[in-house]
Structure 1
């Protein structure tokens, strides 16, 4: 694709994903059409206002401008085996106190409560830490966008302190598998599938990724977040891949019509059935052939008891600092205060 963009022979519609793709860079380079006005009132092919049927809203850039639409939608969260929980009499948690209580029951049975992908710490950040920060911020996801904007103090406020103290609680109570720090994604997932641990943070691709290794009778369960207090909304930390229109599109009206066609419930259902993943459209998957875990996840996304946080991408150096600090926190090598100090310093350096 790159030679086409350089030569000006661009596609009308572009799906932004894959090695070397960078949405923010394409916007900075003036490659994508400003679709802010188009999105304000446009309807899809079914006559429904397009932005009303989206699970995740388009990212706003400088000047509250929109250049892309999230097409693929996924969520981080915690996964567990429903069959194992039923066998053991454990209750799937809906808030932090229930999560700690269930995790202590699991530990008492001789199984690790939580295992994670220590080699890639963004798994535990996406599946636990980020939702904890949003929950502690009263369900307000702006805490993540402030961090992405490198706003001073955004990595050390009361909400961050509360979220990190929850991780410290897990460490102090021995509820995190100590061997997780050295595991990659597949190794940790294999151990989880073998019931060496009960919970694992991951994304909705997990079932497809491990399809060849799933034991007979294993039943995927999904919880978007556990850090919230009783009665608070569940928090969804999304990941998306976007679609956009080239600024130099030869057929801009046809490109807009294609977006109106693509974002319909019928296409979202077909997408889920064919791919095992979710399209960024609220749809009823109950009577479809989509996987049960995808149906369960969509149930959360459609619920008014769920808050979908904004997609927020950190500066690369700050992201690395965050991953390193979270692993150190999850292994008890640093405190919450030291995590915050590290991240504030990394953000200050990036601002310069």
Structure 2
């Protein structure tokens, strides 16, 4: 697989924001949407019935665009086939791409966007710009529609906690339906840790001790994707919340003055600064892509890697048998931490949107209703070893060790000890820039104190920029 395809694997939640890539291409085109032509705008409409609660026009054409990254697009083709079975008069046009913005931004300008978009990858459309220009439909009618599995339940009642809120962007309207439930944290091989007599470290002292033991055996403690250093976020945000409580992340999301200067941020950064200072990071990690760092980890060159639950499917080509892939949340810094060990960052990813000017926006929502039926959620879990946003979507599906571990961590944390920083979806470019600071920290070019100063300056610049739409909890 080429590096460009590997990079495109990322979803907009963290995988676009945390990659530390360039600003989202096509933003200027999206800005032109406000003055684009007046075509589209309004949906083909049919008759509302018990079997057609959204009132779609049964013979209307429907166009779906899927981001074809690490999840592929077969799951979408299968859902489209199920849609066709339910609505045999409809015609469905399927497109898949890794260049979402390049292909679709001009269509928003021309007021002829497709009806359903999987807005994911490093080249995802800028949601801040789309929402600011009124280009995305409110999905509330979909959420209030009956589930295909149990018509007595609304779609919203079949989803995991936090899914609806993740698509709201600070208001009541729901602009995105995130299809995948990702778990972020510190990943390791249980087989490797057992080999060296190491227990998964629940404190940072235990982490440092583990790294010292590994170093004696010519194994690095950590590796990371140096070329896309925002991967460090997948541990850091949960660490900040664990130390200082969820309110610190809320202040960061809200761009509050000096939010990044909260003592919890410094306390969260200092342990990894010590890991770096003691030489516990795999030499050369600074120059590795996410695929290369995952491969080095799979080869046993390093024990711990910050990553998300897609890693098992993405790295399966280089993962040895009996690797025992597993994930944990951040270790405890001290007894004064506000949240317990087991605090985990879990967030909805892979956002699907329905453009407001789509010719068949109701059809786009009906297609999503099919995606959210249990057979399609189970099909997704079976194909790509990942959890969907459907609460019971993985029931009856055998899952590999990494996803089993992620699911167990999610259940153990519960709603109280699960965190989800929204800054990554609200201000993707800001988080890309913060990712660059993470790279500087991991390569010993700046200190934790310098990181905080630089990051606060980036957040202040966004907060004072009136051209950027702001969201609040």
| TM-score band, normalised by shorter chain | 0.7 to 0.9
Give how far 1:300 is off.
2.2
SS in 1 for 2:260: coil
Residue in 2 that maps onto 1:202: 307
Alpha-carbon distance in 2 for matches of 1:299, 1:93: 17
Distance in 1, matches of 2:179 and 2:384, equals 13
Provide Cα deviations, 1:267-300, integer angstroms capped at 9, x if missing partner.
Answer: 3222110122331223374742333312221222
Deviations 1:91-148 (A, max 9, x none): 123454443343333234331111111121111122x21211121222x1x5445434
Partner Cα distance (1:133, 1:267) in 2: 36
Structure 1: distance between partners of 2:352 and 2:408 = 24
The aligned residue for residue 343 of structure 2 is 234
Equivalent of residue 27 in structure 1, options 115, 131, 151 = 131
Partner of 2:239 in structure 1?
Answer: 132
Q: CA deviation at 1:178?
A: 4.1
How far off its partner does 1:163 sit? 0.9
Deviations 1:32-65 (A, max 9, x none): 12235764x6553334454453254223325443
Q: Which residue of 2 aligns with 1:61?
A: 169
Where do 5+ consecutive residues of structure 2 fail to align? 1-103, 466-473
Instruction: Report if aligned partners of 2:329, 2:342 keep a CA contact under 8 Å in 1.
Output: no
What SS does structure 2 have at the residue aligned with 1:302? helix
Question: Alpha-carbon deviation of 1:85?
Answer: 2.1
Q: Distance in 2 between matches of 1:292 and 1:122?
A: 25
What SS class does the counterpart of residue 188 from structure 2 fall into?
strand
Q: Does 1:222 pair with 2:327?
A: yes
Question: Which of these two proteins has the greater Rg computed from alpha carbons?
Answer: 2
Give ranges in structure 1 of 5+ residues lacking alignment.
none
Question: Which shifted more, 163-172 or 317-326?
Answer: 317-326
Using a 3 Å threshold, how does the CA distance of structure 1 residues 60 and 318 change in structure 2: closer, same or farther?
A: same
> Is the 1:318–1:343 Cα contact (8 Å) retained in structure 2?
no
User: Cα–Cα, structure 1 residues 101 and 281, in superposed 2: closer, same or farther, change >3 Å?
Assistant: farther
Whether the aligned pair in 2 keeps the contact of 1:130 and 1:237 (CA below 8 Å) is: no
Is the 8 Å Cα contact of residues 329 and 341 (structure 2) preserved in structure 1? no
1:101/1:37 CA distance change after superposition, 3 Å: farther
Q: Which deviates further from its counterpart, 236-245 or 249-258?
A: 249-258
- Structure 2 match to 1:99: 207
CA deviation after TM superposition for structure 1 residue 73, in Å: 2.8
- Residue 307 of structure 1, CA deviation: 0.5
Report the equivalent of 1:340. Answer: 452
Counterpart Cα distance in 1 of 2:279 and 2:428: 31
Distance in 1 (alpha carbons) for counterparts of 2:434 and 2:362: 42
Q: Which residue of 1 aligns with 2:371?
A: 262
C-alpha displacement of 1:29? 2.2
Q: 1:244 and 1:325, CA in 2 relative to 1: closer, same or farther beyond 3 A?
A: closer
Give the 4+ runs in structure 1 shifted more than 6 A.
Answer: none
Residues 100 and 222 (structure 1), Cα distance of their counterparts in 2 relative to 1, 3 Å cut: same
Match of 1:243 in 2: 352
Equivalent residue pairs, number: 348
Aligned to 2:117: 14
Say whether the 8 Å CA contact 1:301–1:308 is kept in structure 2.
no
Could you say which residue in structure 2 is the equivalent of 1:152?
A: 257
Match of 1:170 in 2: 275
Shift of 1:315: 4.1
Determine which of 382, 385, 398 is the counterpart of 1:273.
382
- More off after superposition, 270-279 vs 43-52: 43-52
Distance 1:20 1:123, change over 3 A: closer
Counterpart secondary structure, 1:278: coil
SS in 2 for 1:213: coil
Q: Calculate the TM-score normalised by the size of structure 2.
A: 0.65
Q: 2:4 aligns to what?
A: none
Does the CA contact (< 8 Å) of 2:343 and 2:413 recur in 1?
no
Deviates further, 59-68 or 151-160: 59-68
Shift of 1:251: 5.2
Q: The residue matched to 2:198 in structure 1 has which SS?
A: coil
TM-score calculated relative to the size of structure 1: 0.84
Match of 1:323 among 399, 410, 435: 435
Measure the CA separation in 1 of the matches of 2:458 and 2:118: 32
1:101 and 1:293 map into 2 onto residues whose CA distance is 24
Q: 1:286 to 1:113 in 2, by over 3 A?
A: farther
Structure with more relative contact order (C-alpha pairs < 8 Å, separation 6 or more):
1
